Structure 1
């Protein structure tokens, strides 16, 4: 499974099946609720993903006993469950804290499974996401300053709305980062830095 979108869907499927085995319809509903919050989710991409995960041995199919199915003519629902290899792959995906985890496509999915993620990895992803948004803020502010005179009032309001949305997310990330840092064990260097720079755990970007 290649590409950023394929990786996002793989993480979403493995993470969902880590919670409990699911049949296809239940999995589709769960993924729609999860992925739909962050990007459009195409059902057409789910079954190719499931076939690849089955071929890779990361998930397995179970055909539940259903005595009513032969009588009604309906097919029994296939249940998908995580294999031992799938659990290992999920943990591997959850340790990835590089730039791909900071992007709009994947940050929300990584965040959704933070309860299964190590604290240090959570912090790196949050800080990386904040850094990425700070870059975006600088770019938008610079572009807005250059084009303000040429924009009509509606386009200008739309630009401001986008800017405010990013600023709100940065403030939210600041709060999460401060909370994560409080939960991490302090090292001698950390304690020295905080003594020299009171309140340095939280960066105020406003």
Structure 2
């Protein structure tokens, strides 16, 4: 998830390390407790893999392989940019629409980069997320029905609040899915059948179709 968030952010614009941290904190902070300690190992791995490059003058600490820090009141001037390989890797990550993209943390990051994602993939992720939440709703409702009599009023209200939150997200997903389907072309237009080669009959022939045969005199 962090790899997708970094590559997706750098795809939009090259960023200094400090700017990248701020952007990731705004993005990932909505879905998880983002640790800066996990960012720099990720950046080093992306650099080693050739997915990003560094531009600009790096402080001595960064040049030695350590995390960039504020030295003498001056922030690191390293700018991170995507390479061609990084763009390919980002597209590969954006096509992943399986169960891992439906979970609470990863769904939000995938959704944040939906503008770079193909329509069919967006729809699969939204439908998968809805299915996952509907399964969760069934489980919560069943558990609530079994334990309702044994719960105090505060615990009961907390469970109801959780249930209503999931129901709101399902309604939101229903609206998004309907919008995606209205915007997507019909299946026949997305995957048209191969056109048959058609040859018009030559003058004086008595048949039409792909293999016209001249009439005998």
TM class, shorter-length: 0.7 to 0.9
Relative contact order higher in (CA < 8 Å, ≥ 6 apart): 1
- Residue 30 in structure 1 maps to residue 30 in structure 2: no
Aligned residues: 176
- The separation in 1 between residues aligned to 2:35 and 2:76, in whole angstroms, is 24
Segments of 5+ residues of structure 2 without an aligned counterpart are: 59-71, 189-217
- Residue 14 in structure 1 maps to residue 14 in structure 2: no
- Residue 33 of structure 1, CA deviation: 0.4
Matches within 5 A, 1:29-178: 29-63=22-56, 74=74, 76-178=76-178
Change (3 A) 1:108 1:73: closer
Secondary structure, counterpart of 1:61 in structure 2: strand
Per-residue CA distance 1:118-163 (angstroms, 9 max, x = gap): 0000000000000000000000000000000000000000000000
**What's the C-alpha RMSD, in Å, of the aligned pairs?**
1.7
- Residue 73 of structure 1, CA deviation: 8.6
Q: State which structure, 1 or 2, has the greater radius of gyration over its C-alpha atoms.
A: 2
- Residue 75 of structure 1, CA deviation: 6.4
- The separation in 2 between residues aligned to 1:112 and 1:100, in whole angstroms, is 15
Query: Which consecutive aligned stretches of 4+ in structure 1 deviate over 2 angstroms post-superposition?
Result: 72-76
- The separation in 2 between residues aligned to 1:147 and 1:126, in whole angstroms, is 31
Of Structure 1 and Structure 2, which has the larger fraction of its residues in helix?
1
TM-score, reference length from structure 2: 0.78
- The separation in 1 between residues aligned to 2:178 and 2:76, in whole angstroms, is 49
TM-score, reference length from structure 1: 0.82
Segments of 5+ residues of structure 1 without an aligned counterpart are: 1-7, 66-71, 189-206
